[in-house]
């Protein structure tokens, strides 16, 4: 009965995907395998979540389960993102992660890379920030090319959102070049 109200209790979550109970398991509680977003995106839990205690207790445990699951996925997304230029191209990487986590990981990487280019500039590499602007532009152009392909609606929305953020990020880096920003501070 509570599942019909999850959308009011948790931002972005519409329901849980439940396992079909096998004989004898009904007494142990209900098992949830994944959370389903309001837009239909499904994120499998890191471990099966069991609903078997008082509602106020399992809702708190559910929040912890969601947090742990999302932290684990974000950690994997960041590890994979560190290899964009070698193992996993960004336009392919974005397809493997839930939308919000892909956007967060992308912003974390942009922040780290921007700061690293400013550190390099401060340490004597005169064209470090300009080179990073060129990397941003190249990544943006690649994503635009990917958006022109035949994509499902959800992936197109994710890529289009990432393009919008990338345009802003590239413009910020261009502003750093134009202002001749001397370092990360």
pLDDT at 77: 96
Cβ burial 74-83 (10 Å sphere, 16+ → b, else e): beebbebbee
pTM: 0.86
Helical H runs in 4-127?
6-9, 55-81, 90-93, 99-122
What is the maximum span of the chain, computed from C-alpha positions, in angstroms?
Answer: 69
Q: How far apart are CA 106 and CA 108, in angstroms?
A: 5
* Token output for 51: 């609903």
- pLDDT tens for residues 107-143? 999 999 999 999 999 999 999 999 999 999 999 999 9
């Amino acid at each position: 009965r509570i599942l019909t109200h999850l959308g009011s209790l948790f931002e972005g979550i519409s329901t849980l995907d439940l396992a079909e109970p096998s004989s004898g398991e009904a007494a142990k509680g209900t098992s949830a395998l994944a959370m389903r977003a309001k837009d239909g995106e499904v994120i499998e839990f890191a471990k099966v979540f069991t609903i078997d205690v008082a509602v106020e207790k399992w809702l708190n445990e559910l929040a912890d389960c969601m947090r742990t699951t999302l932290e684990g996925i974000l950690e994997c997304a960041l590890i994979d993102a560190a290899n964009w230029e070698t193992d996993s191209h960004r336009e392919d990487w974005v397809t493997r992660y839930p939308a919000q986590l892909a956007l967060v990981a992308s912003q974390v990487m942009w922040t780290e890379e921007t700061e690293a280019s400013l550190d390099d500039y401060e340490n004597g590499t005169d064209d470090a920030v300009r080179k990073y602007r060129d990397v941003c532009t190249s990544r943006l152009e690649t994503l635009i090319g990917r958006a022109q392909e035949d994509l499902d609606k959800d992936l197109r929305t994710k890529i289009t959102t990432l393009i919008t953020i990338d345009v802003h990020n590239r413009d910020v880096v261009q502003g750093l070049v134009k202002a001749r920003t001397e370092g990360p501070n």
